[in-house]
Amino acid sequence: MKNWNKNFAINIARKKKIILNDKHWDIIYFIRDFYYKYKISPSINILIIFFNKKNINNKISLNYLNLIFKNKFDKNIYKISGIPYPNKCLL
């Protein structure tokens, strides 16, 4: 999304009853960087693998994403990040 900014993300998160913290922002910016580098939205599995390779001391898991991004966490992550939901799973 070209009009994405931090306030956009905060407003979407607020509607989902998610209060964004530093860990959320690390994941959001990682997803956005991945999308603009590879021109494709990462699947959740790709997100976890690539994020954990880059952040050795700050790892995430599927359960952790579910905990911090709440119900329908996968869709919430992409909406808040302002990038399209992946239509094909790469892994």
Half-sphere exposure of 69 (CA within 13 A, CB side): 26
Active site residue 78: no
- CA–CA dist 21, 53 (Å, integer): 21
Tokens of 62: 């599927």
The three-state secondary structure class of 2 is coil
Given the residues 17, 53, 56, 89, select the one marked as catalytic: 89
- Using alpha carbons only, give the angle 83, 10, 54 rounded to the nearest 5 degrees: 55
Q: Which residues are catalytic?
A: 89
